[in-house]
Amino acid sequence: MTCDRLVCANCAGPVAEGRCAVCRASRARMQQQSGLQGLLGGLTPAMLIALLAALIAVALVVQHAHA
């Protein structure tokens, strides 16, 4: 989510403009959260299923090698 269309409840201005302290704090918090979500936020459900299948395959190969 971006702050482009959000309206501040404190000053009724766009959060992206950062008119008041509440806007600036909200914008900073959203930018910090977007950095964390950028790592996993781009994964689609298909990519998650493929990653899970790959992890299961690796686990089975490791288990078979130790047996």
Could you tell me the pTM of the whole model? 0.49
> Nearest to residue 40, comparing CAs of 51, 28, 53, 56?
51
- Residue 65, pLDDT > 80, answer yes
Task: Give per-residue pLDDT as tens, 1-34.
Answer: 566 788 888 999 888 888 999 988 988 888 887 6
27 with 15: CB under 8 angstroms? Answer: yes
